[in-house]
């Protein structure tokens, strides 16, 4: 895995799985909490701090593990693996490995989930994808705009990204309302967008939603063309 930056690879995998999901869920939360501590051959060593150990199970189930490994293969075209440890430092990994080897234990590997290839989308999934409407451009824009940020680790850069994306998010909500989308669908799409932004800028979704409300309150009202009698 020379030339591959493991932390960036893990972040891209997390982003990709989130893009394919309906909302921010336990697996996404577990992936966000996991830290790439080291790389052993084709295996990423992922650490979870003590306060995040309750999320461990979401990365160890066969189904979730299959999703993550499939995503890693898509991004690298290599059969990678990962191992979870308690702790987030190289010293804790070395201590874990030494203790494991002294007991003759092997790394934990859950039974593999059966691969599902070429599974057709459900009717509901096709209808929802076709109904994305004004939300599709902003969801695509989020990913590319974030990748263009040079200093993504700096709070100021993430804050500026949030401010830059708020107008597009507000316009998507307004456009969806003008197109008479059902309110339930608008709120579901808005929640998904807010949760994705919150993940990117490392803020609670409620804070991002609050910033959107503040922007909408301060922005001038959009002009709606009058209908001809």
183-223 residue pLDDT tens: 888 888 888 888 888 877 888 889 999 999 999 898 766 54
Are residues 75 and 138 located together in one domain of the fold? no
Give the CA angle between residues 160, 71, 38 to the nearest 5°. 80
- Structural domain range at position 87: 6-102
Q: What is the pLDDT of residues 76-112, one digit of tens each?
A: 999 999 999 989 999 998 988 888 777 665 555 554 4
Q: Specify whether the CB–CB gap between 86 and 47 falls below 8 A.
A: yes
> Does residue 36 have a pLDDT over 90?
yes
The model's pTM is 0.52
Are residues 151 and 193 located together in one domain of the fold? yes
> Does residue 61 have a pLDDT over 80?
yes
Are residues 96 and 152 located together in one domain of the fold? no
Q: How many domains does the chain have?
A: 2
Are residues 20 and 76 located together in one domain of the fold? yes
Whether 226 maps to a domain, the answer reads no
Helices (H), the chain: 6-19, 26-33, 56-60, 62-76, 90-102, 123-130, 135-147, 155-178, 183-201, 205-218
Domain boundary among 42, 69, 102: 102
Q: Specify whether the CB–CB gap between 37 and 45 falls below 8 A.
A: yes
Whether 81 maps to a domain, the answer reads yes
pLDDT of residue 109: 52
The better pLDDT of the pair 202, 59 is held by 59
Are residues 90 and 173 located together in one domain of the fold? no
Whether 96 maps to a domain, the answer reads yes
Q: How far apart are CA 120 and CA 193, in angstroms?
A: 25
């Amino acid at each position: 895995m020379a030339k591959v930056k493991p932390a960036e690879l893990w972040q891209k995998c997390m982003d990709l799985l989130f893009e394919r999901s309906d909302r921010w869920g336990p697996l996404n939360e577990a992936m966000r909490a996991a830290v790439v501590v080291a790389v052993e051959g084709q295996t990423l060593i992922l650490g979870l701090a003590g306060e995040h150990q309750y999320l461990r199970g979401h990365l160890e189930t066969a189904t979730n593990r299959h999703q993550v490994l499939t995503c890693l293969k898509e991004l690298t075209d290599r059969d990678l693996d990962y191992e979870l440890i308690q702790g987030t430092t190289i010293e804790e990994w070395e201590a874990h490995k030494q203790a494991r080897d002294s007991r003759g234990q092997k790394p934990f590997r859950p039974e593999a989930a059966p691969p599902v290839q070429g599974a057709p989308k459900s009717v509901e999934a096709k209808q929802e994808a076709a109904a994305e409407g004004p939300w599709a451009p902003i969801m695509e824009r989020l990913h590319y705009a974030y990748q263009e940020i040079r200093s993504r680790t700096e709070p100021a850069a993430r804050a500026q990204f949030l401010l830059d994306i708020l107008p597009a998010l507000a316009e998507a909500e307004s456009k969806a309302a003008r197109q008479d989308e059902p309110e339930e669908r608008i709120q579901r799409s808005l929640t998904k967008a807010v949760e994705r932004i919150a993940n990117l800028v490392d803020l609670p979704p409620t804070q991002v939603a609050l910033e959107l409300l503040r922007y909408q309150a301060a922005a001038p009202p959009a002009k709606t063309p009058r209908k001809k009698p």
